[in-house]
Every structure is written in C-alpha cells, then in structure tokens.
Structure 1
Amino acid sequence: MTQQGAPTQRAAHARGGLHRQLLLIFGLQLVAIVLACLMGYYDVAPVGAVLALIVIVGALAWLAAQRALRPFSTLARMVGNWHEGQTELQSLQPDHLLHRVDADVATLARSFQSFASRIAGYNERERNFTRDASHELRSPLTVIKMSTDMLADESGLSDFGKRSLERIRRATREMEALVEAMLILARETDNGQGEQDFVVNDVLRDELVDAREMLHGHPIELQFEEPATFALHGSPRVFAVLCWQLIRHASQYTGQGTVLVTVLPGAVSVCATAGTDHDPHLPGQQGFEYAIARRISERFAWPLDLRVQGGNSYVAEIRFPQPLPVPG
C-alpha cells in the first residue's frame, strides 16, 4: 500500500515545476515587452499606450510569480508558527499546503514534518524518563532517610554506629542534591525546581558544614572567606551541588593541603594549593565532578573558569552575570 502510494505522490509533485512556471512567466513578459516596444517603434500604438502595456504586463508577471511562490510562503508560515510542544503535524503534509505543490516544496515539507515528529518523540521520551527517574531515584532515598531517623532513636547504638549513621545521612543529602541537579539538566525546558531568591553566603555556609564532614579523615583543610555578599534567583540546591562538585574536584586535585572557598562580588571562587611533593593531575582530566559542574554552569549561564597558576594552585571561579542585592 505504501509502496504503491509513494510513486503516485512523487508524480503529483513534478520536480522543477516551479522553475518552469517562473521561466514561462518571465519569458511571456519578455515577449510582451518586446512586442510593445516594436509597436511603439513603428508607431502602431502611441507611447502612452506602450508604457501602460508594459506596466500591465509587469504587474501581471508579478502576480503570477507571487502565485507560483505561494507554497513557499505557506510552508514558511507553518514552520514559523510551529513550536516544540506541538504534536499535531498533519498540517505540514505537502497535500495540505496547496493542491499542486512543486517537488522541492514537498521535499521541504516532508523533511520538516519528519524532523518535527522526531522532536515530539524526543520530548515525550524526555518527560517519561525524568518522571520515572524522579520517582525511582527519590523513593529509595526517602526510605533511607526514614530508616536513618529510626536508627538514630535507638538507645543502644554504639559510637561507631552513630558515626556511620551520620555518614549515611550526609551521603543521602548529597545524593538528593545530585539527583535533583541531574534531573534538572535532563529537562530541556526546566530551569530548576524550587526556584527562589537565596543568599549565596548562607547556602555556602550550610554546604561547607556537610563538606567538612564528608572530607573528615582526609588531609585537607577547608576554609571559607566572604569579603562580599550577594543573592541569586534560582535553585539553591543546584547551586550547592555546583559548589560541592568544585570542592570535590579541587580536593582530588590537591590530594592534601588547603581548599579555600571565597565569595567575591558577583562570583564564587574555589582555590586549592597542592603540596610541593604532590604531583597533581590536570584539572580538566578529572571527569565526573567537573563535568557536572560544567554542565550546570552552562545550563544556568553561570560562566565557569578553571585554571592552574604557578604549577600547584588550582583556581575555579564561577561568575554570576545577574547578582541580586541582599535584602536588608
């Protein structure tokens, strides 16, 4: 059925039909203008009539060309009115443009219809994935949080068990923030759940408390300086994940030493200094932490600059183009 219909459809849209129409239009226009000029040259018709005839022929040629180009205008209007969330694509079929369509126009219409169908399918798969992943990932985390709360109420828990329980809680909070950030990155049209105005300094102080606990036992000193204070509009959880990934990246770079987080006017920097006997890796070669930080910075248009200074100093700086004043 489909194989029989394809030749018929191709036959209905003659290739080069538009070119032939334009050639015929301008050919007849040229002939008419030449005849009008000859009539004026041999005094067959007065000059005014010849000029009027030339104007009429030009106007008719223009109207005929407009009619020939109408399918392109119709297709351009349909493409301009299309949006990614639109699932009704039948109007883009060549047969819905005009009764007789040039093959080039039909090819453009079919190609865009195929592209629009793929985009619609991609959006549907994205919604299904993020919905299922959100449920399947957050549900186990909720169970872990409830279980740790119940274990914390046990009176006979040893000191080792309490320390392990706190590590589980910290890891759970980190996993929650990471899952939220990755789901936001997976949603093309979502700029972050729970957007609000937040003070960067406050979020960093809370994040550094957990970061110090997560780095407990490592020969790394985590410091915080805030010569400036500003606020942002966005997701504080995603901002915290961005900073935490850079702290982890800096910690892996230095191995041992000092990691300094500084709040600057409209920016946050994470600096690390490696020991003289430490052979650091190039920061761009350490994958996951920096990859997540880079994707978040690109998604929210927070430029991230990463460089190594003096051979052993790691500097990552996030700039925020639209900082907000801190409410008084």
Structure 2
Amino acid sequence: MTQQGAPNQRAASTRGGLHRRLLLIFGMQLVAIVLACLMGYYNVAPLGAVLALIVIVSALAWLAAQRTWQPVSTLAQRVRSWREGRGDLQALSPDDHLLQRVDADVATLAHSFHDFANRIAGYNERERNFTRDASHELRSPLTVIKMSTDMLADEPELSDFGKRSVERIRRATREMEALVEAMLILAREADNGQGEQDFVVNDVLRDELADAREMLHGHPIELQFEEPARFALHGSPRVFAMLCWQLIRHASQYTGQGTVLVTVLPGVVSVCATAGADHDPQLPGQQGFEYAIARRISERFAWPLDLHVQGGNSYVAEIRFPQPLPVHA
C-alpha cells in the first residue's frame, strides 16, 4: 500500500468521526450540566459548587471541541495564507499529522486543495512559458519581415506594382504586430500593465492615430481627432493604445469608407463612424474579431466599453474610465 493510500484509509475509517466526537462532547456537557442543576435543586451541593462545576464542564467541553476542530483550522489557515508563486507547495501537502484522527471530509478537502494548487501552479507555469516563447518566436519573424520590406522599399529598380506590394506587406506586418501584442497582453494573468504610469490620453491617442493613418493608407478612410477635453490615466499607455486601435479598425471595417472620428470627452473616449451609402453596415451582433479583442481588454482593465448603432448607420463606441486624472501643466 502506498503512503498516499495509508492516510486515505485512515481517513476513510473515521468518516463521520468529527460529527460523532462533537456530538459526544456536547452530549456529555449537557448531561453534566443537567446533573449539576439537579444537585443544586435537591440541595445535594451548594450553589457555588454547582456554578463552579458548570463553568469547569463548559471549559473542558470547549477545549475538547477546540482540539477536535484543530485540523479544520489548520487547513483553513493554510488555504488563507497560500499565494500562488509566493509559497512552497510542499507546505500545502496534506501530511500524516494533519490527516490523523480527522473526518474523511476534512481529509478530502486537504487532498483536493493540494491537487488544485498543483494544477494552478502548472497552468501558470505553462502560461509563462507560452507567453515567453510566443513573444520571442512571433516577434522575431515579424522583425525580419519589417527589415526586409524596408530594404526592398529602398530598391531603385522596384516597379510600381512591387512598391504597392511592399506597402501592403508592411501594413499587414504592423497589423500582425498589433494583434500579437494584444493577444500577449490578454494571455498574461499577472501582468496588468507592463509599465504602468500616469499618461495623458490625448497625447497617446495623437501618436496612435498617426500610426493608424499609415496602417490604413490606401483605404478610403479618413481619421479625425477632436479633443474638447483632456484627462490622464494611471495604467499602461500601450494597453490603452491597443484598445483604441482595435476600435478604430472595427469602425473602419464598419463604415467601409468615409470618416472615423475619435473624440476625447471628460472621462470618455468615443470612436464614431458613419457607413457610406453603398456600404452595408454590420449589425451590433456582428461585432467581429477586433471588437472581441477590445471587449476583452476593456473587461480586463475595468474600462467599460459600450457599442451601439444610431440611426441605422452611425457606429458609436464609447470607453468610460471610472478614475480619470487631471492633466497637470
């Protein structure tokens, strides 16, 4: 029989033992108190002795119940103090000392939590390995493609068709970079900012729109920026820029052609677009992959996102920031 099987067998033999011990303790306490009361009632013992006996019996019952409940308290303390990645999993192992003379349900809880903690640790280790490998293995070929397109663009004998192809490859590479960045942000559980800081929303949006205009070059889309308000946030400007870029892409696909307007309002950033007359707009239920990524980012960082269509062809997406900061001069 294995070591793990021995504690399980001992625990199985005491199934219901915790309840029986508690029932025995409080039953004996009740009997002792009743006898003490009868002794006082029939003047067998003085009132002081009866009260002292009741206090002693109650104290002994409390100590016995405390000792019986000790394995449950120990398990609860281990669960409460455990933090993934900050403690040794061996400390959570349900050893023989914990499982001796305990109820089978307590033993099952101890084993189940230990197994659960091991699965969580394994999952997080695989997540870290995946994000590290994906970050390297996906970014490296994208960097090679970018360098190659830059070199091809400098070729003097490149035809017009070749130049257009290079520009398409360059834009697709930038979009792929943005997508990889967004997926890695969502894949990381513990990394909620990757460089959190105070940043001005208007400044980040202005830079993001400059990059977006390059990536939308060749599309009949005009990006406009209005900023009747200015505010700052504490967080990751890269994550914020990624969220806005996904909404700009989605609005561009919605409208097909025309104008996409990005507006900064007090505590709100809105992305608006109007579908062209010859373009069949998407319905809110047909939200697409870009909006799904934006939604997941907004939920991850608690920035509520609302998408609706006004008048049948006007796309409006609003991101609300619950804790905007003032812009200091």
Which residue in the other structure is 2:24 paired with? 24
Paired residue secondary structure (2:245):
helix
Q: Is the 8 A contact 1:227 1:263 kept in 2?
A: yes
Paired residue secondary structure (2:89):
coil
Moved more, 11-20 or 195-204: 195-204
Q: Partner letter of residue 196 of structure 2?
A: E
Once residues 72 and 180 of structure 1 are traced to their aligned partners in structure 2, the CA distance between those partners, rounded to angstroms, is 45
Q: Is the 8 A contact 2:219 2:257 kept in 1?
A: yes
Which residue in the other structure is 1:82 paired with? 82
Which sections of structure 1, spanning at least 5 residues, go unmatched? none
Aligned length: 327
Q: Within 5 A, what are the aligned runs for 1:240-279? A: 240-276=241-277, 278-279=279-280
Closer/same/farther in 2, CA of residues 45 and 305 from structure 1, 3 Å limit: same
Once residues 301 and 239 of structure 1 are traced to their aligned partners in structure 2, the CA distance between those partners, rounded to angstroms, is 12
Once residues 279 and 155 of structure 2 are traced to their aligned partners in structure 1, the CA distance between those partners, rounded to angstroms, is 44
Q: Within 5 A, what are the aligned runs for 1:137-216? A: 137-216=138-217
Q: C-alpha deviations, 1:185-242, integer Å up to 9, x for none?
A: 1010001324343332232223223333333443433222111222333333322221
CA shift, 1:327, in A, is: 4.1
Once residues 98 and 209 of structure 1 are traced to their aligned partners in structure 2, the CA distance between those partners, rounded to angstroms, is 64
Paired residue secondary structure (2:269):
strand
Which residue in the other structure is 1:65 paired with? 65
Q: Is the 8 A contact 1:87 1:120 kept in 2?
A: no
Closer/same/farther in 2, CA of residues 245 and 284 from structure 1, 3 Å limit: farther
Q: Partner letter of residue 56 of structure 1?
A: I
Moved more, 297-306 or 167-176: 167-176
CA shift, 1:7, in A, is: 6.5
Once residues 209 and 110 of structure 2 are traced to their aligned partners in structure 1, the CA distance between those partners, rounded to angstroms, is 55
Which residue in the other structure is 1:324 paired with? 325
Q: C-alpha deviations, 1:222-263, integer Å up to 9, x for none?
A: 222111222333333322221121112112222233321111
Q: Is the 8 A contact 1:270 1:316 kept in 2?
A: yes
Q: Is the 8 A contact 1:78 1:92 kept in 2?
A: no
Paired residue secondary structure (1:325):
coil
Once residues 293 and 30 of structure 2 are traced to their aligned partners in structure 1, the CA distance between those partners, rounded to angstroms, is 65
CA shift, 1:96, in A, is: 4.0
RMSD of equivalent CA atoms: 2.2
Paired-residue identity, %: 85
Paired residue secondary structure (2:193):
coil
Paired residue secondary structure (2:225):
strand
Moved more, 239-248 or 212-221: 212-221
Q: Is the 8 A contact 1:91 1:97 kept in 2?
A: no
Once residues 140 and 170 of structure 1 are traced to their aligned partners in structure 2, the CA distance between those partners, rounded to angstroms, is 15
Q: Is the 8 A contact 2:135 2:184 kept in 1?
A: yes
Closer/same/farther in 2, CA of residues 6 and 99 from structure 1, 3 Å limit: closer
Q: C-alpha deviations, 1:22-42, integer Å up to 9, x for none?
A: 111111111111211221122
| Match status 1:226 vs 2:216 | no
Which sections of structure 2, spanning at least 5 residues, go unmatched? none
Paired residue secondary structure (1:285):
coil
Paired residue secondary structure (1:316):
strand
Paired residue secondary structure (1:73):
helix
Closer/same/farther in 2, CA of residues 294 and 106 from structure 1, 3 Å limit: same
